[in-house]
């Protein structure tokens, strides 16, 4: 591997590991120091490797340098030695130098503990996502800014406030108690779900970055599955949902980056391997007696991997949406439920139900009404789609609606 | 926004339905509740199966119930959010229970825990 590719590759895989281990070692008050040491390690690599060539085992080199830097930091910083190192020494009989443990097991444990710490219920959700991207996924600030369609300053401020909050709340970097796991896991899963959605639905033009976000969400979720205590049905259900969604990556974007809607996708581009993994994890999830919203959403996604419109498919999707709405209402679930209703019970019934939804400033609502009225009352359909167009915020949504209006015009004339 | 209980009353709880009929009712009930939930107006609900039901009388006698002298019985209850009795009644009108002749839906406001009601 050439050096220009090697460094970004190592950065992506190793930065987060070093950071997680050092965060855990230094405690929640010193996340910034952990990040700095990890960054400096990579700077040293660039400087040294440029002159001396790439070492035989670059990862081991990085770990050694990170350990030395951390050790130097501990020795150099009086304040740190007095306050933190004392605690570390007291909590362990081993020598301080042995504490910087970059073994696979400690890396995984540190990442899991950091995941629980960063997704603490006291931290605002967008800060949880930002911090997870930075600390657990090793994303750069500009990458995070790009994903959130905002600027570096905003992200820097957000992360700064989040770290302050972690400090103020004295969040411990530790695995939650056994009787707390399922409660704490809820927040972690919500964050992972949102992290995935951020990638899946992001407006960012950077396709690679968006897929990376989804992959990172899946990697963190699989960390939970690999851990016995967190290998729970709802975690498997969430992972299954992610597999089904990501199986459509290649099919849902055209060559020029436009979204291709589900029913216009070329299903030959769907990733069979991810679909079967999704099915496997959905099966794994079907143990226990608690039906989470991830179970329902994964089951809905499962039916969507079958392209053919059968009565069974839409009736199943309708009932799953009925249950999902009982568990947790969301406007998008209400709209999708109504679409499924039109497929299962007919458009007339769906129109009556749609008009009760009370989502008058939602462009998806008017897109749905446009869809439902198409073929029944094309004039009304066109009016609804035009309302949708005026409410749509993003260019890709506008393009999609515009296309529907054009098709309708051809039908009317 | 208030909460209302919609109580499904069957005129004759002992009536036996065919499996196909039961299947159809089940779907209609789920679609009805799903429609209320899609408006974010569903609070909670449960079916009350007749199987094994008992009635405890004031003299301590327990009989197989819930059918005593009267055949009428309660089949289920759901709680919805609504701005008015009218809105709650409109939800009740959609219940598939009403397809059975003589069946009724009772609409009752839920007492608030504010010490006044």
Residue ranges of chain A whose pLDDT lies below 70: 1-4, 78-99, 257, 412-413
Task: Kindly report the pTM of this predicted structure.
Answer: 0.85
pLDDT of residue A94: 43
pLDDT of residue A129: 87
pLDDT of residue A93: 45
Q: For A82-206, where are the alpha helices, taking DSSP H only? A: 86-91, 104-118, 125-131, 141-147, 152-168, 181-201
pLDDT at B70 over 90: no
Which residue among A326, A345, A356 sits closest to B39, beta carbon to beta carbon? A356
pLDDT of residue A85: 61
Kindly determine whether residue B37 and residue A329, on different chains, have CB atoms separated by under 8 Å.
Answer: yes
Residues 6+ apart with CB under 8 A from B8: B74, B75, B76, B77, B95, B97, B103, B105
Show the tokens assigned to A316: 């199943």
CA distance A371 to B35: 19
Chain B residues lying within 8 Å of A358, measured CB to CB: 39
The CATH homologous superfamily for domain B2-109 is Dimeric alpha+beta barrel (3.30.70.1060)
Nearest of A128, A145, A113 to residue A191 by alpha carbon: A128
Q: Which residue has the tokens 């070093």?
A: A18
pLDDT of residue B106: 95
Q: Does A326 touch chain B (CB under 8 A)?
A: yes
CA distance A180 to A116: 11
Kindly determine whether residue B38 and residue A353, on different chains, have CB atoms separated by under 8 Å.
Answer: yes
Torsion sign across C-alpha atoms A68, A74, A77, A80: positive
Q: Does A325 touch chain B (CB under 8 A)?
A: yes
pLDDT at B67 over 70: no
Q: What is the mean pLDDT of residues B47-65?
A: 83
Q: Does A358 touch chain B (CB under 8 A)?
A: yes
pLDDT of residue A261: 77
| B49 CA: distance to closest CA in chain A (Å) | 20
| B31 CA: distance to closest CA in chain A (Å) | 7
Q: How confident is the model at residue B35 (pLDDT cuts 50, 70, 90)?
A: very high
| B58 CA: distance to closest CA in chain A (Å) | 38
CA distance A212 to A233: 25
Q: Does B34 touch chain A (CB under 8 A)?
A: yes
Kindly report, residue by residue over A156-192, the tens digit of the pLDDT.
999 999 999 998 988 888 899 988 898 899 889 998 9
Q: Does B40 touch chain A (CB under 8 A)?
A: yes
**8-state DSSP, A230:** G
Kindly determine whether residue A325 and residue B31, on different chains, have CB atoms separated by under 8 Å.
Answer: no
Q: Which residue has the tokens 């970097």?
A: A173
pLDDT of residue B98: 93
Among A323, A326, A334, A339, the strongest candidate for a mutation testing the B interface, having the largest count of B CBs within 10 A, is: A326
Which residue among A318, A322, A358 sits closest to B37, beta carbon to beta carbon? A322
pLDDT of residue A82: 63
Kindly report, residue by residue over B17-32, the tens digit of the pLDDT.
788 888 888 899 999 9
Kindly report, residue by residue over A342-391, the tens digit of the pLDDT.
999 999 999 999 999 989 889 999 999 999 999 999 999 999 999 999 99
Kindly determine whether residue A341 and residue B31, on different chains, have CB atoms separated by under 8 Å.
Answer: yes
Kindly determine whether residue A345 and residue B37, on different chains, have CB atoms separated by under 8 Å.
Answer: no
Kindly report, residue by residue over B103-115, the tens digit of the pLDDT.
999 999 998 876 6
Chain B residues lying within 8 Å of A350, measured CB to CB: none
Kindly determine whether residue A337 and residue B34, on different chains, have CB atoms separated by under 8 Å.
Answer: yes
pLDDT of residue A271: 92
Sorted by where each begins, the domain ranges of chain A are 1-101, 103-231, 233-252+268-307
Kindly determine whether residue A329 and residue B33, on different chains, have CB atoms separated by under 8 Å.
Answer: no
């Amino acid at each position: 591997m050439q050096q220009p590719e090697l460094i970004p590759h190592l950065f992506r895989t190793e930065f987060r590991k070093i950071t997680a281990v050092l965060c855990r070692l230094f405690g929640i008050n010193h996340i910034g120091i952990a990040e700095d040491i990890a960054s400096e390690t990579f700077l040293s690599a660039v400087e040294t490797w440029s002159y001396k060539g790439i070492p035989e085992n670059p990862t081991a080199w990085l770990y050694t340098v990170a350990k030395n830097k951390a050790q130097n930091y501990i020795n150099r910083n009086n304040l740190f030695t007095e306050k933190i190192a004392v605690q570390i020494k007291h909590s362990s009989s081993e020598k301080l130098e042995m504490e910087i443990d970059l073994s696979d097991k400690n890396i995984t444990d540190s990442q899991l503990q950091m995941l629980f710490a960063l997704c603490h219920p006291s931290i605002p959700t967008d800060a949880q996502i930002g911090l997870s991207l930075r600390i657990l996924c090793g994303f750069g600030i500009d990458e995070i800014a790009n994903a959130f369609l905002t600027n570096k300053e905003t992200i820097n401020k957000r992360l700064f406030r989040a770290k302050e909050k972690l400090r103020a709340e004295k969040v411990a970097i530790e695995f939650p108690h056994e009787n707390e796991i399922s409660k704490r896991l809820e927040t972690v899963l919500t964050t992972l779900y949102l992290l995935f959605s951020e990638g899946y639905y992001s407006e960012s033009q950077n396709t690679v970055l968006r897929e990376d976000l989804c992959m990172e969400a899946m990697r963190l979720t699989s960390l939970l599955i690999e851990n016995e205590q967190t290998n729970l049905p709802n975690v498997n259900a969430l992972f299954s949902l992610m597999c089904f969604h990501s199986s459509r990556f290649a099919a849902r974007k055209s060559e020029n980056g436009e979204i291709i809607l589900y029913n216009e996708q070329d299903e030959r581009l769907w990733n069979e391997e991810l679909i079967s993994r999704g099915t496997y994890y959905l099966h794994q999830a079907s143990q226990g007696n608690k039906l989470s919203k991830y179970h329902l959403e994964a089951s809905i996604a499962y039916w969507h991997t079958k392209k053919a419109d059968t009565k069974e498919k839409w009736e199943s999707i309708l009932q799953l949406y009925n249950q999902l709405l009982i568990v947790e209402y969301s406007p998008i679930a209400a709209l999708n439920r109504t679409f499924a209703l039109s497929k299962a019970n007919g458009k007339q019934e769906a129109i009556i139900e749609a008009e009760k939804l009370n989502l008058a400033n939602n462009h998806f609502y008017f897109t749905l009404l446009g869809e439902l009225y198409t073929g029944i009352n094309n004039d009304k359909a066109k009016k609804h789609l035009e309302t949708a167009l005026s409410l749509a915020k993003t260019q890709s949504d506008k393009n999609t609606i515009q296309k529907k209006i054009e098709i309708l015009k051809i039908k009317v004339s | 926004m208030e909460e209302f209980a919609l109580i499904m009353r069957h005129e004759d709880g002992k009536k036996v339905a065919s499996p196909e009929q039961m299947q159809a009712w089940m779907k209609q009930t789920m679609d009805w509740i799903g429609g209320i939930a899609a408006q974010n107006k569903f609070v909670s609900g449960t079916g009350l199966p007749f199987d094994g039901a008992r009635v405890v009388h004031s003299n301590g006698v327990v009989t197989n119930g819930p059918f005593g002298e009267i055949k009428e019985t309660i089949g289920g209850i759901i709680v919805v959010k609504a701005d008015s009795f009218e809105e709650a009644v409109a939800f009740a009108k959609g219940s598939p229970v009403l397809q059975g002749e003589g069946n009724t839906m009772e609409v009752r406001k839920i007492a608030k825990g504010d010490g006044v009601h």
